[in-house]
């Protein structure tokens, strides 16, 4: 009889523990440079976050409870790799906005010439905490940015790009930095830019 009581208790306890768990399904905005394995690695140090799966821009994971890991905590973990949780659900079929403020999207005129410029410009933009995506087009000289306004702003991102030698809009990068660029990266500098 005692064994049955113990087994019943264990069964009920296990059932309640499983019931308390929450499964998040999260839609992500992430840089193309962040791999699926890098995302899953972010959660390895959190032993009670389980069943982490990444597929494209979708993350699924199980946490002990929403009180232990509210969406704000998951957002903070993802921000380490400049990944934003855009929407999430804990119930199939219903999505909720995951960020207190939505991502801002802006386009900036950034001067450059080649693939090396593209890499340098995008890397500089993504180095700013809060930038989720940066994509520069050589033909249009346009940089498309997605960023979290709670973490950064256009001025901070612009300064990072100027610091690596690329003029942004009417702002001119330092002449010494521009002169140190590889010869193929020396774009025609616009007139009328200011330092």
Q: Which of 10-14, 53-57, 71-75 bottoms out in mean pLDDT, i.e. has the lowest?
A: 10-14
C-beta separation of 51 from 1 below 8 A: no
This model's pTM is above 0.75 = no
Report the topology of domain 104-185: Alpha-Beta Plaits (3.30.70)
Q: Please provide the size of the chain in residues.
A: 195
Q: pLDDT-based confidence at 42, cuts 50/70/90?
A: confident
Angle CA(144)–CA(146)–CA(149) in degrees, nearest 5?
Answer: 135
Coil, strand or helix: which one is 88? strand
- Give the pLDDT mean for 74-88: 81
Q: Look at domain 18-97 and name its CATH class.
A: alpha beta
- Give the pLDDT mean for 39-60: 86
Range list for CATH 3.30.70.100 in the chain = 104-185
Residue 145 has pLDDT above 50, yes or no: yes
Q: What is the mean pLDDT of the chain?
A: 82
């Amino acid at each position: 009889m005692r064994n049955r009581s113990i087994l019943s208790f264990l069964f009920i306890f296990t059932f309640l523990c499983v019931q308390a768990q929450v499964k998040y399904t999260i839609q992500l905005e992430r840089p193309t440079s962040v791999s699926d394995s890098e995302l899953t690695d972010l959660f390895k140090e959190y032993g009670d976050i389980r069943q982490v799966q990444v597929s494209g821009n979708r993350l699924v994971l199980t946490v002990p409870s929403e009180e232990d890991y509210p969406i704000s905590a998951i957002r903070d973990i993802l921000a380490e790799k400049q990944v934003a949780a855009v929407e999430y659900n804990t119930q199939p079929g219903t999505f909720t906005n995951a960020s207190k403020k939505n991502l801002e999207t802006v386009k900036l005129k950034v001067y450059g010439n080649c693939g090396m410029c593209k890499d340098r410009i995008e890397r500089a933009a993504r180095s700013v905490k809060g930038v989720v995506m940066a994509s520069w087009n050589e033909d249009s000289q346009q940089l498309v940015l997605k960023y979290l306004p709670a973490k950064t702003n256009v001025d901070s991102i612009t300064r990072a790009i100027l610091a690596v030698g690329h003029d942004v809009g009417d702002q001119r990068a330092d002449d010494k930095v521009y002169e140190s660029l590889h010869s193929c990266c020396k774009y025609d500098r616009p007139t009328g830019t200011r330092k």
